[in-house]
């Protein structure tokens, strides 16, 4: 069946509004809602993954800062003489003063670190000479395996797994500790002692738990060899992670986020490797958790779609009451007016555009009635008005002929200077009042500028001098009318002091094969530096600001840009505005018959 478009034109406004509501509100809402709900899970999963990845980056950064700070402490001990002397000096009556000084210095350094870094619980120094020092919480616990590893590592840093200790102050706790042999500064192969720095595991666990609460999933730290360094399940600490499939997926995948299935459950696994230690912060979140977090949003979206449909229905009813019914009433009254019934009126119920339309209709009916009643009187007034307009007009040719008669009279009375002024004024008026042509040749434009400057020179006397230069090949170049004279007028009005002599120069020359450059320079006061920068910025951004520059410069720039394109316009060369002012016009060279417009 072929749809006839003319039948659509005859459908009533009420049916059209219902159709528009169904096609543009109800149907799109259902389609869009269905599509959004279909893809909403994937979108929210990606948002959840991005948020979790950002949290892991934050955790990694915080842990890195703590671990790096502890590493720096041990580096400081290697290079600080007080620590080395304390560890390798045997306690004798002769060395007591030196050892006491070393202890004082070490205690001050350690106290500062313990107070400024709350996650450090204690620092122990074990010297080869038998000197020992413990600062911070007194603790006891199984540390021999890490001490042995540190000795075998010969100065390399050894980080322990999470292990239990008993604090003399707070009782049982778990810590993660750094063990490192301190080598002699003079002989790096010789160890002078060992340092142990213990970190409170609860502060590290708090960082992890803040990112992943226990009810949402699991988070743990793995060593590069796959052993568990820290986990909520302390039985796994120090042991290889029990799921070898997960370890393989983490090692073989270049992505930080992977999907993982095990024991019939699906997980979203996040892996963030730490700098410096190369530990892996691993987070496992069940898909059910992610879906549960999005259910509330899904319900909100469904409610939103329902609200959109309800509001659309309310809008349709409002459209019916506020627009359709008044329009139908207006149609009815218009039909009455069409039959010649000038008593037709519509009831105005509002002050909006529809109400204004009704008021205008009522006014129109009254106006038509008044026009019919006063037809002949109105025609008579119009005739009289036209006659007054015709009588008030002056024939431009009458003005030219009168000026020409006055010029010859002046010559007959032997007043040549007056005759020249009248001749210049006549030529100026003749050129300026010829508004039919939008373009002129460069030679005619310069002749117009010359007439203007001659008149100004007669007014200002010897205080004004001017020169006009044009390459001979540019005489027939076509330019927009009145392009140069406003700039010359600006120089006279704004650039010159009444009591000083001034000079204006207009130079027209070719640049390259296709560009015409017109420089209007004067020896006046010029542009202040800040104003010059503001004008150049306004020209670049095409902002007409009378407080920065005159309308003439901006209007000429806009005209040239419209006619010749963005590569042309007005420029204020900084190098030519050192003494006086210079305004440069750049336009495309065109001959007669090639005007841009």
pLDDT, position 537: 83
pLDDT, position 386: 45
Q: What is the pLDDT of residues 305-314, one digit of tens each?
A: 788 778 778 8
Successive 10-residue mean pLDDT values, the chain, 597 residues: 53 72 74 73 76 84 89 87 84 85 88 88 88 88 89 88 88 91 80 90 83 80 88 86 84 82 81 85 81 70 79 77 76 78 76 77 79 59 45 45 59 63 62 63 89 82 88 89 86 75 91 91 85 83 64 80 84 83 90 53
pLDDT, position 546: 62
pLDDT, position 468: 93
Gap between the Cα atoms of 3 and 64, Å rounded: 71
pLDDT, position 471: 92
Helix (H) or strand (E) segment spanning residue 284 = strand 280-286
Residue entry with tokens 């009248």: 422
Gap between the Cα atoms of 175 and 122, Å rounded: 10
pLDDT, position 419: 63
pLDDT, position 362: 83
Helix axes 529-541, 551-564, angle to 10 degrees: 40
Gap between the Cα atoms of 182 and 155, Å rounded: 6
pLDDT, position 7: 56
- Find the length of the chain: 597
* Residue 36, Cβ density class (10 Å: 0-12 exposed, 13-18 middle, ≥19 buried): middle
pLDDT, position 393: 40
Q: Do the Cβ atoms of 522 and 491 come closer than 8 Å?
A: yes
Q: What is the pLDDT of residues 536-574, one digit of tens each?
A: 888 887 766 666 556 678 888 888 887 888 888 888 888
Gap between the Cα atoms of 513 and 529, Å rounded: 33
> Coil, helix or strand for 88?
helix
Sheet strands (E) in 409-553: 439-441, 464-470, 478-480, 502-511, 515-522
Gap between the Cα atoms of 448 and 462, Å rounded: 21
Gap between the Cα atoms of 306 and 128, Å rounded: 78
Q: Do the Cβ atoms of 218 and 212 come closer than 8 Å?
A: yes
Q: What is the DSSP letter of 237?
A: B
Gap between the Cα atoms of 222 and 237, Å rounded: 9
Put residue 271 in one of left, alpha, beta given phi > 0 → left and psi -120 to 50 → alpha.
beta
pLDDT, position 212: 79
Sheet strands (E) in 340-383: none
Gap between the Cα atoms of 191 and 260, Å rounded: 47
Q: What's phi and psi for 59, nearest 5 deg?
A: -60, -45
pLDDT, position 392: 40
Question: End-to-end distance of the chain based on CA atoms, in angstroms?
Answer: 50
Gap between the Cα atoms of 349 and 522, Å rounded: 66
């Amino acid at each position: 069946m072929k749809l006839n478009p003319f039948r659509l034109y005859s459908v009533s406004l009420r049916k059209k509004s219902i159709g528009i509501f169904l096609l543009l509100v109800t149907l799109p809402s259902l389609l869009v809602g269905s599509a959004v709900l279909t893809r909403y899970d994937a979108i929210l999963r990606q948002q959840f993954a991005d948020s979790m990845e950002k949290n892991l980056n934050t955790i990694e950064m915080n842990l890195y800062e703590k671990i790096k700070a502890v590493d720096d402490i041990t580096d400081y001990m290697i290079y600080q003489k007080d620590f080395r002397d304390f560890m390798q000096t045997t306690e004798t009556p002769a060395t007591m003063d030196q050892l006491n000084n070393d202890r004082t210095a070490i205690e001050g350094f350690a106290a500062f670190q313990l107070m400024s870094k709350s996650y450090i619980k204690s620092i122990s120094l074990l010297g080869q000479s038998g000197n020992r020092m413990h600062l911070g919480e007194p603790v006891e616990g199984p540390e021999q395996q890490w001490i042995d590893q540190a000795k075998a590592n010969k100065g390399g840093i050894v980080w322990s797994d999470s292990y239990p200790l008993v604090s003399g102050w707070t009782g049982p706790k778990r810590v993660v500790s750094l063990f490192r042999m301190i080598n002699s500064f003079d002989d790096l192969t010789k160890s002078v002692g060992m340092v142990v720095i213990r970190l409170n595991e609860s502060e590290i666990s708090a960082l992890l738990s803040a990112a992943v609460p226990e009810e949402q999933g699991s988070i743990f730290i793995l060593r590069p060899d796959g052993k568990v360094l820290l986990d909520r399940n302390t039985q796994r600490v120090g042991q290889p992670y029990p799921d070898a499939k997960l370890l393989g997926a983490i090692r073989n995948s270049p992505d930080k986020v992977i999907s993982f299935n095990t024991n019939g459950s699906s997980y979203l696994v996040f892996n963030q490797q730490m700098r410096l230690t190369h530990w892996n912060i691993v987070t496992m979140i069940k898909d059910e958790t992610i879906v549960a977090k999005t259910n509330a949003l899904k319900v909100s979206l469904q409610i939103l779609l329902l609200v959109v449909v309800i509001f659309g229905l309310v809008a349709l009813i409002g459209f019916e009451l506020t627009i359709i019914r008044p329009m139908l009433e207006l149609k009815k009254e218009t039909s009455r007016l069409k039959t010649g019934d000038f008593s037709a009126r519509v009831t105005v119920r509002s002050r909006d555009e529809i109400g204004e339309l009704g008021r205008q209709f009522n006014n129109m009916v009254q106006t038509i009635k008044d026009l019919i009643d006063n037809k002949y009187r109105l025609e008579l007034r119009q005739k009289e008005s036209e006659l007054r307009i015709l009588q008030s007009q002056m024939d431009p040719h009458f003005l030219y002929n009168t000026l020409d008669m006055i010029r010859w009279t002046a010559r007959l009375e032997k007043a040549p200077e007056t005759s020249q002024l009248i001749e210049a004024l006549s030529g100026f008026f003749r050129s300026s009042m010829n508004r039919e042509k939008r373009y002129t040749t460069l030679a005619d434009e310069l002749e117009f500028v010359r007439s203007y400057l001659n008149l100004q020179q007669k007014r200002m006397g010897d205080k004004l001098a001017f020169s006009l230069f044009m390459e001979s090949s540019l005489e027939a170049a076509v330019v927009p009318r009145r392009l140069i004279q406003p700039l010359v007028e600006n120089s006279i009005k704004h650039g010159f002091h009444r009591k000083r002599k001034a000079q204006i120069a207009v130079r027209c020359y070719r640049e390259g094969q296709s560009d015409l450059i017109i420089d209007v320079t004067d020896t006046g006061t010029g542009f202040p530096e800040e104003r010059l920068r503001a004008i150049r910025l306004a020209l670049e951004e095409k902002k007409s600001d009378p407080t920065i520059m005159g309308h003439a410069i901006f209007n000429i720039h806009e005209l040239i840009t419209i006619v010749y394109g963005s590569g042309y316009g007005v420029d204020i060369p900084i190098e030519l505005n050192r003494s006086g002012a210079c305004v440069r016009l750049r336009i495309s060279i065109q001959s007669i018959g090639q005007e841009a417009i």
